[in-house]
Each structure stands twice: as C-alpha cells, then as structure tokens.
Amino acid sequence: MTAINAHSMTDTYELANGVKIPVIGFGTWQSSPEDAYQSVKWALDAGYRHIDTAATYDNEQAVGRAIRDAGVPRDQLFVTTKLWNEQRNSYDDVLRAFQDSLTRLGLDYIDLYLIHWPEPAAHHQDWQHLNAETWRAMEHIFHLGKARAIGVSNFLPKHLKALAKTAKTAPMVNQIFLNPYSPQPDVVQYNRDHGMLNEAYSPLGTGELLKSETVAAVAKKHGKSPAQVLIRWSLEQGFLPLPKSVHQDYIKANADVFDFELDADDHQQLAAMAGKGRQRQDPTTFDFSKPIPFLH
C-alpha cells in the first residue's frame, strides 16, 4: 500500500524483497541512553512499531532494553540499526560490527541494516572499494537471514551507481535528510527508479521547521501542530518519516497524522520552502573528524 492511504501506525510500505515496514518510524538520534530507553517505551505504548537507532548513537543497548521491557512481541516490531564508518575497514569488520549491534540490542535479528555514510573522510580516495566490500558483507548477513532487509543512508546517485557495479542484491532503502527545506528531488527520484524506499530522517528539519511561519499557517488551517503537518507532508510525498522526541506528549501527537490531508495549496506553500533552510551534508566533502553540526 502507499502511505497516502495509510490509516494507522501499523500500516506498511513493502520493500523490494517483500518485507513490510511500518509507515512511520521512531528516531533516537541524539537521545542519551536514559532518554532513548524512556522515549522508546513511550513510543511503543503510543503505537509505534518501527524503531530506528544506530551504532554511533551509543544507545542501542538502551533501545533493546526498552523493547524488552515494553513487552511488544518481536514479530510485531521493525528495528533498524546502522553500521558506522570506523566499523567497516574490512569485510570481517562489518560482520563483527553487526554482531556487536545484535548483542547490544539483545536481538536475534535486525529488520533493516544500513550503511550509515557512503564516503568516510579517511576513504575519500577508495570509497568505491570500501562500499563494495562493506556491501558484500551486508549481503552475507542478509542471506543468512540475520537482517531481513539491507540498505544505505546518505548515499547520492554517484555512490549508488558505483555500488551497483558489484552488488548482487540491490539496496532496499536509502535513508536521507529529507524535509521541505531539503527535498532532494534528484536523489529521491533515483531511489524510486531503482526500487529503494525513501526514508526521511530529520523530517522536522532538526527542529528548524517547527519555527517556520509557513508551516505554522498550514498547521493552524488544519487544526494540527507543525510537527504533524511535516510528518503528514512526508507521508504524502511517499516517504517514510522518522520523527524523534523525548517528550511523551509530542511522541503521541506525532502519531496522530492519519485524520487529515494536505491540499494542493498546502503542498505549493511547502514546496516553496526548498533550499531556504538547513540542507543535507555533502558526503563527498564532509569530514567527520571535525565537529558534527548534525547527524541523524
């Protein structure tokens, strides 16, 4: 089904390999272990069934504990984690890193495993080889059934084209910085043309869009919050948004987006915001050895 027809948090997209993924995920970036534990419990209580974390967030263990304590059956959950740059200097490194994530989460399998970043600063000269070897290990994990789906994050078409030269299994997801400020139409279309779901991290523009007068006006028109409008916009674009909050009321409100639709004028106003706020980092030049202004 398409997200525009979704009626609840348990409705799904279908990935290229037939795996179903809930249409909204709960993000945990920048959540301390304590906040991650409590917010994931609140999210699961509010009906979220899709939880997104990453090795570099340093909260996988807390996320796993929250999942166990919430008591939701494992087969009703969809859990994503990601492989970080320093964990993938070799094929064997990737296998070890994946097992470490499984151990920290306390799970027997991951629903979606992603390469977090396409071009680490230390590998600007050999990123194609690095990605090919990383992906070969990811394919092994996938074929063992330890990850139900595999994909990438922050990849541009140039990275995806290079990966396709050696990949035997195509990525099923590309998780990217995606919101009205940064709609990334070229990347979005490339993903669609090649069977990848567009996952939208920072769908609220890391909070910047919540201050927008345009978004506030659309929200007032529909009797909704700015966050709800932005999440709804993402769904109506066919994206899978990953909103994050550590406040119980906001977590619940962010799930309440299935009882209204944006009209053509709303979409026109939101489209006019493209390029006016924070944009994605360029993985071909960004150096993670320097201070990180944001990372999903």
Catalytic residues: 57
Residue among 183, 173, 29 at smallest CA distance from 110:
173
Question: How remote is the C-alpha of 78 from its chain's centroid?
Answer: 12
How far is it, in rounded angstroms, from Cα 257 to Cα 14? 20
Q: What are 181's two structure tokens?
A: 């400020």
Where do the DSSP E strands lie in 155-247?
Answer: 173-177, 197-201, 240-242
Place of tokens 């970043």: 117
- The answer to whether 106 touches 68, Cβ cutoff 8 Å, is yes
How far is it, in rounded angstroms, from Cα 206 to Cα 200? 12
- The answer to whether 256 touches 47, Cβ cutoff 8 Å, is no
